[in-house]
Amino acid sequence: MIAVIKYNAGNVLSVMNALGRLGYESVLTDDERVIRNADKVIFPGVGEASSAMAYLNEHGLSSVIKSLEQPFLGICLGMQLMCASSEEGNTECLGIFPDRVQQFPKGRGWKIPHMGWNTINKLSDSIFRDNREGDYLYFVHSFYVPLSEYTSSVCEYDGLEFSASLKKGNFHCLQFHPEKSGDAGEKMLRCFLEGV
């Protein structure tokens, strides 16, 4: 069973629909028992860091997520919330990764949010075993995770390289949206579902 964590974030149904297209059923839940008993856990989302963390803390999900041992996939906001903190609302996050999420610098003529198709490179996670360097993925975000020892792929936006994904133990995280990234994103989801 695949548990999709409910925490009042957007874009959850598009992830569940993508899983369904791949032939997998999933359940949207904030029930600790269901999450702990799931074979795989997915933590997707679009939203704002501080309100998302408030929901997780109020429902006792922060400690649950940090203690999970099954394959876990964080997507977009889900990836950022797994870091130590975020500049968005000066939010203390889950701390699975020691990184601080930063806002894209203003005043450089960049379009913020970073939105649309971009490539990823330097792939170093088994979730990418069917992907290639330079695959295009779909991004929508105003905050980013700097490069670190846990970076498992890299994206470059107007001269700034940042973590397109993170990997630590059973935790796999993607800044981009695999469910909106066509064949390249589908390959990643399938790898996660079939065994990373």
User: Active site includes 172?
Assistant: no
User: Active site includes 179?
Assistant: yes
The token duo for 176 is: 């981009």
User: Active site includes 114?
Assistant: no
User: Cβ distance 17 to 179 under 8 Å?
Assistant: yes
The one catalytic residue among 76, 83, 155, 191: 76
| CA pair distance 109, 160, nearest whole angstrom | 13
The token duo for 108 is: 């450089």
Q: At what angle do helices 182-194 and 12-21 cross, to 10 degrees?
A: 80
The one catalytic residue among 83, 141, 177, 191: 177
The one catalytic residue among 88, 114, 179, 191: 179
| CA pair distance 10, 7, nearest whole angstrom | 9
Catalytic residues: 76, 177, 179
